[in-house]
Amino acid sequence: MRIVVCVKQTYDPATVKISRSREEFDLRGAVKIMNPADKHALEAALRLREAAGGEVVALTVGDADAEDVGREAIAMGADRALLIAGPELAAATGRAVAKALAAGIGHLAPVDLVLVGQAAAVDGTGGLAPRLAAALGWPVALDVLPSLSPSSSPSPNLGGGVGVGAEVGAVEAVAVVDPGVGEAISLPLPAVVAIVAGAERPRYPQPARIANAWAPGLLAICTASDLGLTAEDLAPDVEVGGLVLPPERTRGQVITGPLDAAVDELWTVLQAQRLIPAAAA
């Protein structure tokens, strides 16, 4: 089976600062990394390949820097990578990225399964997987844990595994519903699956693979127009404005009064800072 993993280059959230005066991100010290959820998606794909055989292809839409995440995916174990880059993608928003990824998946056909990260660090919303599925006309599952099992046909029974090289008609998985509560799902292929972080760590690249990742022929680069996308396809659907910030902090404040009233006051503060959901009140 051929599995495509969509990997995205994001900023490491620990290195992104917020400029209060400018009401925007301060990216001067920011470091670009592979989106953490995508590492879990890649790990899920590699395990599925170990169980059912086939090929794992990393697919990324980005600028020239995004080549790094393609190489990193190969170093982690992907068989090859495709980078869709170019100046016409510089201002691409969610709609255009979904179209470009769908075009890339069409280019890689036949594809059985597409794995994406549930949401990007820093500013992710989890909108990409259902958008991509709509663009492809495939079913989609969200919030799925990385342990996927292959099965020969869509059936509600968990664990109906297939051997390496056999025909895989569906994947069975667990979607997270609430903390500690999951739901068994079975998806007929082809399908798009959005992966959340699981308990196991994604594997580290092996030194030999790191060196190998730069071997010629493993990473292909194409432009959006190579894939038949027009300027109209790539037009931005949204425009990003400034940040809305919570009130500023001051140290050493004291909340006085009887305990009940003090807790109420603290509650209000925590709500204003969005640290307690409003519904819990």
Ligand X SMILES: Nc1ncnc2c1ncn2[C@@H]1O[C@H](COP(=O)(O)O)[C@@H](O)[C@H]1O
Interface positions with ligand X (CB under 6 A): 6-8, 35, 37-38, 60-62, 97, 101, 116-117, 119-120, 124-128
Give the C-alpha separation, 162 to 28, whole Å. 49
Using the minimum distance from each CB to ligand X, give the nearer residue, 4 or 174: 4
Give the C-alpha separation, 42 to 39, whole Å. 5
How many CB atoms within 10 Å of residue 158? 14
Residue 97 interaction partner, one of other proteins, ligand X, none, beta carbon < 5-8 Å per kind: ligand X
Distance in Å, CB of 59 to ligand X, minimum: 6
**Is 119 in contact with 125 (CB distance < 8 Å)?**
yes
Distance in Å, CB of 93 to other proteins, minimum: 8
HEC profile for 145-198?
Answer: CCCCEEECCCCCCCCCCCCCCCCCCEEEEEEEEECCEEEEEEEECCEEEEECCC
Which alpha helices (DSSP H) does 2-56 contain, by range?
A: 36-52
Residue 178 interaction partner, one of other proteins, ligand X, none, beta carbon < 5-8 Å per kind: other proteins
Distance in Å, CB of 190 to other proteins, minimum: 15
Using the minimum distance from each CB to other proteins, give the nearer residue, 21 or 253: 253
Residue 174 interaction partner, one of ligand X, other proteins, none, beta carbon < 5-8 Å per kind: other proteins
Residue 260 interaction partner, one of other proteins, ligand X, none, beta carbon < 5-8 Å per kind: other proteins
Distance in Å, CB of 117 to other proteins, minimum: 10
Give the C-alpha separation, 281 to 276, whole Å. 9
Distance in Å, CB of 29 to ligand X, minimum: 22
